[in-house]
Amino acid sequence: MRQTLAFDIYGTLIDTQGIAATLEGWIGERAPVVARAWREKQLEYTFRRGLMGAYADFDTCTEQALRYCCEALGVALEPEQEAELLRRYRQLPAFPDVPPALDGLRADGHRLFAFSNGTKETVSGLLRHAGLEDRFEDVVSVDEIGCFKPDPRVYRHFLQRANVLPVDAWLISGNPFDVIGAQAVGMRTAWFDRAGRGLFDPWGYEPSGTIQGMGELAGMLERG
């Protein structure tokens, strides 16, 4: 049965830890630690801004999070290095299992959407650089309504843009907060547990299904 699939981008299809390779040339073995801290602070800033009603786009949150983490961890970057790092963040790689799986899902007749905290311009460029842009029917950004996941308005906005009922739409995300947010408005969900740790927030919500690789998604959809 044809389904509408909303794919989270950062950390689900695109490897945010890919930035560690750039950092490593400047700060050595501390690169993975800084990359993880940067990602965590980036998300924290979106949550805080959402609660405050003080929206600033994802690119701003990303830049401010980088500056905070560098200061907190004692990493001194030159202005040109910071600019290069932010540029590279717009050119992160896709996980290797993503392109063939998306091709298979399109061949099966499913509607594929990119659904992200990032701005449409940034996400489109990121997908283009990763060679994924033409796999998607559209890019739906939270920037269009000025709030972040997991605000319920974000998921309702996606449903409106895709012109689909919650029961006929799936969110695929590696972030439990995103999965719970979509589940709360009636969407079906696939939690992408790449690490295979099974560590999901104990909030009384369960994803419709769990996958550890993109190749498992088609089979899960068939089973409903």
Enzyme catalytic residues = 8
Residue of 177, 129, 205, 140 lying closest to 4 (CA atoms) = 140
- In terms of DSSP H, where are the helices of the chain? 20-27, 31-52, 58-73, 79-89, 98-107, 120-129, 152-162, 176-184, 217-223
* Interatomic CA distance for residues 59 and 53, integer angstroms: 17
Which token pair is 109?
Answer: 């007749």
Q: The tokens of 61 are what?
A: 């949150």
